Structure 1
């Protein structure tokens, strides 16, 4: 039986869960929602996710929200032996560290900069761009450290999570390809290792890139 996945199709945490589910072969029944003019989700959604955050899932009556919690659930139930979530204690701890750093800091902070530009339809100012580089890009490049895989010698769910959030800004001109060459290299090689990336993300990224070009 497919898992019901409640989501906003363009929200990055939702895209991450879709990519992970496809990668480990979990069938999901998409329950797409949209925000109203006040930025609110349907009123009855609070019965599923009290904080009105997406995504949320319903696995035959078991309801869970928060993307990192859903990530762990899917891996532990459907792919317990997958190298995406290493059994080695120290490698697993490093994967956990990245997952929680992304969900608690990187995703909300990076999204706030990009969303600001999208809402006002203007590119980041020089001051904002400098802050974005110092707050998001440099720490992220240090985290990756020029490695092919962020943990160990193979693809893990940490890589899928990172490439998911990086897709929100690396393709845009807010990231200098020369200054942050390691980020670009990591992003391009990792997205190529996630077969579902193009399916779940390209329809979002291509229009966003074209729209960004129209900003002042």
Structure 2
């Protein structure tokens, strides 16, 4: 049975898994799951991932959730090039350090901007208080500074001269606020140069394909059916406002 990967490319973790699998020639069947439409709560998807999140995979009788777990599983199974998840103990520890940190830093702060700047006001029709937006922008700015100073420093990539899973997970998260109209690279030359190196390492065509949906989200928000979000509107507003 072919490997099945359940994805919604509006989701940052889904993009990282998609890019990693495509870049490394992992054979898989793309299974679309619309998170905004709530398809993750369907009966069939529940059999794949009881956590009700995408991405998820089914490899024969084996099912797995969580993007980092999925990518490390694929790296081991398909013996992808060492730079993605290095065998060297200290280099792998550096990758794991970033992957552990980003869950409570880069991911929530980038996502929050996307919802506060685009989805909540323009799709849900709910006003976002200025102090909420200002606080979210401050949090993201602090996180990006930490990323540059602690994780990137003066290296081409997070772990030296080659791209790793850490860079891949970082870039998809940092692109999320860009999709809402906040160009976080504009005043950060170091971050911008790193973004260009990551795009080149992935391949411009694949990078652009994976981010096409999120980068056109301001336009697609104009015609988005807000009723699709009603089933978790209260949860979203509670989380971000």
Give the shorter-chain TM-score range: 0.7 to 0.9
Give the 3-state SS of the residue equivalent to 2:50 in structure 1: coil
TM-score between both structures, scaled by the size of structure 1: 0.84
Match of 1:41 in 2: 41
User: Could you tell me how far 1:26 is from its partner in structure 2?
Assistant: 0.1
Quick check: 1:6–1:56 contact (8 Å CA) kept in 2?
yes
Q: Does 1:133 align with 2:134?
A: no
Instruction: State the Cα distance separating 1:174 from its structure 2 match.
Output: 4.9
Deviation of 1:24 (Å) = 1.3
Q: Which residue of 2 aligns with 1:106?
A: 106
2:195 to 177, 187, 193: 187
Bigger mean CA offset, 100-109 vs 168-177: 168-177
Counting helix residues as a fraction of each chain, which structure ranks higher? 2
Unaligned runs of 5+ in 2: 222-241
Q: Measured at CA, do residues 146 and 152 of structure 1 come closer, stay the same or move farther in structure 2, by a change above 3 Å?
A: closer
Deviates more, 1:120-129 or 1:6-15: 120-129
Change (3 A) 1:33 1:40: closer
Q: Which deviates the most, 15-24 or 105-114?
A: 105-114
Match of 2:237 in 1: none
Q: 1:147 corresponds to which residue?
A: 155
Q: Which residue of 1 aligns with 2:231?
A: none
Residue equivalent to 1:87? 87
Q: CA RMSD in A?
A: 2.7
How does the TM-score come out when normalised to structure 2?
0.76
Q: Once the two structures are superposed, what CA deviation does each residue of 1:99-158 show, in whole Å capped at 9, x if it has no partner?
A: 222234321332122212222137874443223312x22222222124211102222222
Partners of 2:81 and 2:46 lie apart in 1 by: 34
Matching of residue 175 in structure 1 with residue 184 in structure 2: yes
Residue 234 of structure 2: aligned partner: none
Cα distance in 1 for residues equivalent to 2:81 and 2:184: 36
For this pair of structures, how many residues does the alignment match?
210
Match of 1:55 in 2: 55
What is the SS of the residue equivalent to 1:167? helix
Any idea what SS the aligned residue of 1:25 has? coil
